């Protein structure tokens, strides 16, 4: 009877925990599903949009995504390889310097290079005078795409750099020594051994770069490239066509789904066993003087263009526009940004911990299934999630007239949780799988209450993982623009919206002050995160 009572008690707790987890997961997924449904809903303006701008949005989005992905991969993989496996002067400096561009949002980098297209003016004038106007226009379009891809890649490559560097470090030195003993040079070892083994990490970083490129609004708007994201804003806010904007958002989600399937298929073919069983110290490849100079020069380029030049220009502009601080209420902007980012990071980590624990402790396949839906938000641009939130809140307002969700801080926080839930869920899921699985199995078999196992066992074991997850969500929340721009409450501005508003009013110089604040706030946890990861791997 006692055993039966324990089983029944465990079953009751399993039902209550998993029910709450499933409900939370479905609620987080609701805004995304609201937009996806629009694929099947009719729209009066859609035939016109499809005929006039749809192909332009699609082609521009694909070109920017492919270009940014390729250039970011090239920069990230090279820097990861030389930092992880080679020894050369200034290596210690570049270990942390190469991650600093990640502190700069894409739109801030675009504003820092607001006049970069002027560099091509002499070439364009020569082409117009010596060839023809059509050739000049074609070349001008090329330069717009080229510089936009360059600006985006200069701040997004660290996603690939960090993951590829971790993968190279985990491989150890045995394979390199084996390759050298078989007569292969270092270039052959890189292409035939190290890079194929790092492909899963590279693809994972590449998927993050693609998601950030698709989410970007400030940079593409600044350089005048019509993409899906800018098209959604233009159709909705500029033309007042909500149904057409929703249709564009739904097709953007379909494009993202296709890209994710391609990425998953490519990564599934790149699963290799890491050489993690060896405790042999990693012996670095000592570069010659000539190769060291070339390596230093190549590593300096992304750091220079991705961080040093933007920060230098922003600092110079901030110095000559100090009077703007009084006009934009800088302290209020910092308070709002910190409050929003801290609240989002804490709530997201708590919810992710609850969902992961419920799925793993009770071995609930249904909870694991709904968790997968909940983490789809990171693969969807912020503008799309914002539209889903507005649709959802409008439906709730119809049922409960007295509840006004649109324009509230609560709905903005919920939107951020939907957008960045996967950022917290992924490391927590991995950390609990590695550190807590056997202990949870033992706790469950002994009939120990789930809440006791969570608080006394799981949380202490994955404490560092929880801190890392909260830092990641905090960084992304500080840099997010489209969500805040659409859903911010009345008279609630953040550093990101202030930067965008000033630049939209042609006050690029004045926008440098809130932009610099974002960079400084994000850089501190970013460096600590990098140091923590480095100490863990080495």
* Domain annotation covers residue 522: no
Which pLDDT value is given to residue 454? 83
CATH number of the domain at 203, please: 1.10.3720.10
If you write DSSP's letter for every residue of 181-231 in order, what string do you get?
HTT--HHHHIIIIIHHHHHHHHHHHHHHHHHHHHH--HHHHHHT---HHHH
Least confident of 66-70, 178-182, 439-443: 178-182
Mean pLDDT along residues 387-396: 81
Do 30 and 71 lie in a common domain? no
* Domain annotation covers residue 516: no
Do 2 and 117 lie in a common domain? no
Mean pLDDT along residues 332-358: 93
Residue 275 scores a pLDDT above 80: no
Do 205 and 349 lie in a common domain? no
Residue 1 scores a pLDDT above 60: no
* pLDDT band, very low/low/confident/very high, at 133 (cuts 50, 70, 90): confident
| CA torsion through residues 242, 248, 250, 253, sign | negative
- First-to-last C-alpha distance (Å) of the chain: 53
Highest mean pLDDT among 47-61, 194-208, 245-259: 47-61
Do 306 and 391 lie in a common domain? no
Least confident of 9-13, 244-248, 269-273, 356-360: 9-13
Residue 304 scores a pLDDT above 90: yes
Q: What pTM, to 2 d.p., does this model score?
A: 0.83
Do 262 and 331 lie in a common domain? no
Q: What b/e readout covers 358-394, taking b as 16+ CB neighbours within 10 angstroms? A: bbbbbebeebbebbebbbbbbbbbbbbbbbbbbbbbe
Q: What is the domain count for the chain?
A: 2
Do 122 and 253 lie in a common domain? yes
Do 356 and 306 lie in a common domain? no
Which pLDDT value is given to residue 303? 94
Report the greatest alpha carbon distance in the chain.
Answer: 96
Query: Over the chain, what is the mean pLDDT?
Result: 82
Which pLDDT value is given to residue 354? 92
Structural domain boundaries enclosing 186: 42-272+284-320
**Top-confidence residue, 175 or 294:** 294
How far is Cα 228 from Cα 367, in angstroms, rounded to an integer? 33
Mean pLDDT along residues 357-363: 85
How far is Cα 521 from Cα 518, in angstroms, rounded to an integer? 5
Least confident of 29-38, 275-284, 413-422: 275-284
Residue 256 scores a pLDDT above 50: yes
Do 125 and 244 lie in a common domain? yes
* Domain annotation covers residue 36: yes
Which pLDDT value is given to residue 173? 63
Do 64 and 167 lie in a common domain? yes
Rg for the chain (alpha carbons), in Å?
25
Do 9 and 75 lie in a common domain? no
Residue 259 scores a pLDDT above 90: no
Residue 491 scores a pLDDT above 70: yes
**Top-confidence residue, 249 or 477:** 477
* Domain annotation covers residue 519: no
* pLDDT band, very low/low/confident/very high, at 195 (cuts 50, 70, 90): confident
The token pair at 54 is 């749809």
Do 221 and 332 lie in a common domain? no
Give whole-number Cα distances, 405 to 110, 121, 367, 381, 410, in Å: 33, 49, 28, 21, 8
Do 77 and 102 lie in a common domain? yes
* Domain annotation covers residue 513: no
* Domain annotation covers residue 512: no
* pLDDT band, very low/low/confident/very high, at 309 (cuts 50, 70, 90): very high
* Domain annotation covers residue 361: yes
* Domain annotation covers residue 230: yes
């Amino acid at each position: 009877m006692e055993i039966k009572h324990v089983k029944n008690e465990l079953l009751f707790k399993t039902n209550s925990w998993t029910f709450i987890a499933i409900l939370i997961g479905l609620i987080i997924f609701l805004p995304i599903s609201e937009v996806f449904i629009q694929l099947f809903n009719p729209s009066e303006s859609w035939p016109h949009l499809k005929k006039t701008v749809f192909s332009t949005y699609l082609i521009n989005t694909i070109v920017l995504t492919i270009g940014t992905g390729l250039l970011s991969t090239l920069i990230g993989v090279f820097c990861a390889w030389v930092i992880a496996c080679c020894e050369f002067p200034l290596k210690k400096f570049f270990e942390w310097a190469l991650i600093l561009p990640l502190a700069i949002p894409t739109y801030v980098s675009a504003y820092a290079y607001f006049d970069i297209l002027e560099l091509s003016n002499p070439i364009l004038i020569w082409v117009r005078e010596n060839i023809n106007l059509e050739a000049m226009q074609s070349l001008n379009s090329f330069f717009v795409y080229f510089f936009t891809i360059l600006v985006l890649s200069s701040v997004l490559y660290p996603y690939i750099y960090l993951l590829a560097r971790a993968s190279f470090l985990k491989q150890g030195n045995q394979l390199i020594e084996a390759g050298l003993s078989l007569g292969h040079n270092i270039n052959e070892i890189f292409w035939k051994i190290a890079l194929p083994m790092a492909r899963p990490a590279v693809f994972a970083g590449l998927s993050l770069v693609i998601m950030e490129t698709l989410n970007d609004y400030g940079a593409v708007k600044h350089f005048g490239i019509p993409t899906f994201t800018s098209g959604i804003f233009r159709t909705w806010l500029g033309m007042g066509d909500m149904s057409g904007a929703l249709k564009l958002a739904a097709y953007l989600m379909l494009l993202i789904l296709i890209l994710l399937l391609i990425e998953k298929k490519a990564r599934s073919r790149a699963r290799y066993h890491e050489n993690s069983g060896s405790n042999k110290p990693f012996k670095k490849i000592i570069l010659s003087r000539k190769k060291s100079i070339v390596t230093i020069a190549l590593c300096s380029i992304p750091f220079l263009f991705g961080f040093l030049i933007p920060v230098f220009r922003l600092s110079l502009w901030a110095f000559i526009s100090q009077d703007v601080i009084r006009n934009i209420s800088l302290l209020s902007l910092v308070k709002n940004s910190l409050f929003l980012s801290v609240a989002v990071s804490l709530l997201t980590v708590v919810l992710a911990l609850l969902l992961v624990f419920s799925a793993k402790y009770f071995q609930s396949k249904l909870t694991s299934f709904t968790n997968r839906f909940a983490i789809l938000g990171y693969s969807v641009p912020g503008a799309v999630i914002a539209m889903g939130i507005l649709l959802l809140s409008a439906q709730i307002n119809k049922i409960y007239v007295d509840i006004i969700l649109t324009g509230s801080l609560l709905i903005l926080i919920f939107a951020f949780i939907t957008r960045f839930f996967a950022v917290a869920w992924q490391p927590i899921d991995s950390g609990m799988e590695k550190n807590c699985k056997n202990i949870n199995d033992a706790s469950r078999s002994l009939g120990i209450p789930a809440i006791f196992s969570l608080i006394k066992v799981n949380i202490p074991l994955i404490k560092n993982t929880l801190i890392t997850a909260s830092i990641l969500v905090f960084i992304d929340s500080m840099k997010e623009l489209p969500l805040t721009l659409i859903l911010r409450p009345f008279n609630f501005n953040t550093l990101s919206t202030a930067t965008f508003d000033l630049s939209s009013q042609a006050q690029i110089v004045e926008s440098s002050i809130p932009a610099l604040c974002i960079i400084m706030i994000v850089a501190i946890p970013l460096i600590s995160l990098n140091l923590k990861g480095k100490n863990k791997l080495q």
